[in-house]
Structure formats: C-alpha cells, structure tokens
C-alpha cells in the first residue's frame, strides 16, 4: 500500500535553532519526492523536488535528503526563523500514467518561538 | 511571479446549497487539479482536468461534484448540494507537465464551511 508517514507530528523550537523533519514512504514505483511548506490557511508552496538519483538538495536554509534504498527523506532547517512556523508536507510521486500520482503525508507542524 | 488564484477565500453555506469555487491557473499551464484538505488531515486528490475534460477523478469526486473551464482562464469546482462533510479547504493547482514530473503550483485555497 502506498503511504507517506511523517514525524514528528508537531515540533516546537527556539528561534535560531536547527531542526530535522522526517518522512518515510512505501510508495512504489518511486518517481520523486517533494517537500512543501504550508502556512496556516494557505496553499502548499514547493521547497524542493528530489528524484531517485539525488541524495541532497538545498533551498536557502532548507536542506532535503533522500535515501531511496531505505525510502526515507529528511528536511533540515538551519537557523530557524519565526516565519518558518508552518506545516511541512512530504509528498511522494509514483510512476504511473495519469494525474493522481501524488501521495501526501499528514505533515509536521513546526512552531518557532522567540 | 505567476501564481494560481482562487476565489472566494472563504465561503459559508447552508447544507443542500450549491457552491462554486473559482480558480485562475497559471496562464501557460495545461493541467489543472482540485484537492481538498479537511481540517487536521492530509491533502486529498479530487480531480484532474486536461484538454477540456476530466482526465482522472478520485472516489471522493462523486456526482455532487463537477468541474468546468468556462473560458480560457477560469477553472471552477461546483458542489451541487453541499453536505456537512464537504467542509474543508479546497485547493486548485496547475502544472505545465502532467503526472509525476510536473511541479504543482497550488492556490491559496478556498475555505468552505457548510452549516
């Protein structure tokens, strides 16, 4: 069964600290893995897209890693800012014909406090 | 930067009423989608639309739902007779490429509250 699991469910950190969010998936056949940031009441915004051959990808203070063998990904946030408070959603694409090929995780709710 | 825009941002309606949610996808995109997110739950696929017809739909997308691209820019989701369980955020998305390779751009969402 194609599933995407994220942990932790929620996280509170102090401003300036680093944190790492985890994503495990059982999606097959794998196409790519995406991390989205979703501010409360807003639409998801893409942070990174990683294909099978990419182990790490950075976007500013966000660094995503992918281990396709263990089917795990992480999103590392460096020097957190108050504006990083949001839900971070891991989305895995499967290689198949058609449009409904994205599997969404439930997200990690990050709160950055001063 | 081009973006997907949605209206209304929030709609409150009585159970049984019809609702139309509107979306303007990114102008050169060809693939359009509706997703929904019930509060506290994951984003769920509803329907995809390409070349003026539905290309795929989920089990959620029953006869109460319909989509339309009435002109060259708008993409609408209609719920004919709303139920309490239709209360959710509805996200429109568009991409220039179909399927797994395509980066998906989401709108800000329309919050539907059914009373």
User: DSSP readout, B37-78?
Assistant: E-TTS--EEEEEEETTEEEEE-TT--TTEEEE--SSS-EEEE
> In sequence order, which residues have a C-beta less than 8 Å from that of residue B85 and are 6 or more positions away?
B114
Q: What is the mean pLDDT of residues B1-27?
A: 94
Give the A:B interface size as CB pairs under 8 Å: 65
Q: Tens of pLDDT along A63-83? A: 999 999 999 999 999 999 999
Residues of chain A in contact with residue B103, where contact means CB-CB under 8 angstroms, are 46, 49
Does A102 sit within 8 Å of B104, measured CB to CB?
Answer: yes
Single out the residue of A35, A93, A85 nearest to residue A65, CA to CA: A35
Does A42 sit within 8 Å of B108, measured CB to CB?
Answer: yes
Looking at residue B99, what is its pLDDT? Answer: 62
Mean pLDDT of chain B: 91
Single out the residue of B45, B103, B100, B40 nearest to residue B77, CA to CA: B45
Residues of chain B in contact with residue A96, where contact means CB-CB under 8 angstroms, are 99-100
User: What is the rounded distance in angstroms from the CA atom of residue A100 to the CA atom of residue B47?
Assistant: 8
In angstroms, what separates the C-alpha of B24 from chain A's closest C-alpha?
14
Instruction: Yes or no: say if B109 and B91 are a contact pair by the CB < 8 Å rule.
Output: yes
Query: Looking at the partner chain, which of B45, B55, B103 has a beta carbon nearest the beta carbon of A46?
Result: B103
Residue that the structure tokens 């969404």 belong to: A104
Q: What is the DSSP letter of B95?
A: E
Q: Tens of pLDDT along A20-59? A: 999 999 988 888 999 999 998 889 999 999 988 899 999 9
Beta bridge partners of A56: A65
The percentage of residues in chain B with a pLDDT greater than 90, rounded to a whole number, is: 72
Looking at residue B36, what is its pLDDT? Answer: 95
What band does A95 get if pLDDT is binned at 50, 70 and 90?
Answer: confident
Does A96 sit within 8 Å of B58, measured CB to CB?
Answer: no
Report yes or no: B53 at the A interface, CB cutoff 8 Å.
Answer: no
Looking at residue A2, what is its pLDDT? Answer: 82
The nearest alpha carbon in chain B to A105 belongs to: B42
Instruction: Yes or no: say if B68 and B79 are a contact pair by the CB < 8 Å rule.
Output: no
Query: Looking at the partner chain, which of B4, B48, B89 has a beta carbon nearest the beta carbon of A100?
Result: B48
Query: Looking at the partner chain, which of B91, B100, B105 has a beta carbon nearest the beta carbon of A32?
Result: B100
User: What is the rounded distance in angstroms from the CA atom of residue B115 to the CA atom of residue B112?
Assistant: 10
Does B99 sit within 8 Å of A101, measured CB to CB?
Answer: yes
């Amino acid at each position: 069964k194609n599933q995407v699991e994220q942990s932790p469910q929620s996280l509170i950190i102090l401003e300036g600290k680093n944190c790492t969010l985890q994503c495990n998936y059982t999606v097959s056949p794998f196409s790519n893995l995406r991390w989205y940031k979703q501010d409360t009441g807003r639409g998801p915004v893409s942070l990174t897209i990683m294909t099978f051959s990419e182990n790490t990808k950075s976007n500013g203070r966000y660094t995503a890693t992918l281990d396709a063998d263990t089917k795990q990904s992480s999103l590392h946030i460096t020097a957190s800012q108050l504006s990083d408070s949001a839900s971070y959603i891991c989305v895995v694409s499967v290689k198949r014909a058609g449009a409904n090929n994205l599997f969404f995780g439930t997200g990690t709710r990050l709160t950055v406090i001063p | 930067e081009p973006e997907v825009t949605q209206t209304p941002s929030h709609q409150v309606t009585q159970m049984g009423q019809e609702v139309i949610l509107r979306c303007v996808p990114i102008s050169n995109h060809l693939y359009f989608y509706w997703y929904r997110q019930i509060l506290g739950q994951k984003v769920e696929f509803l329907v995809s639309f390409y070349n003026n017809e539905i290309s795929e739909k989920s089990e959620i997308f029953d006869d109460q739902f319909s989509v339309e691209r009435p002109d060259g820019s708008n993409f609408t989701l209609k719920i004919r007779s709303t139920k309490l369980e239709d209360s959710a955020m509805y996200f429109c998305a568009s991409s220039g490429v179909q399927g797994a390779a395509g980066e998906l751009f989401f709108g800000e969402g329309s919050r539907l509250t059914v009373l």
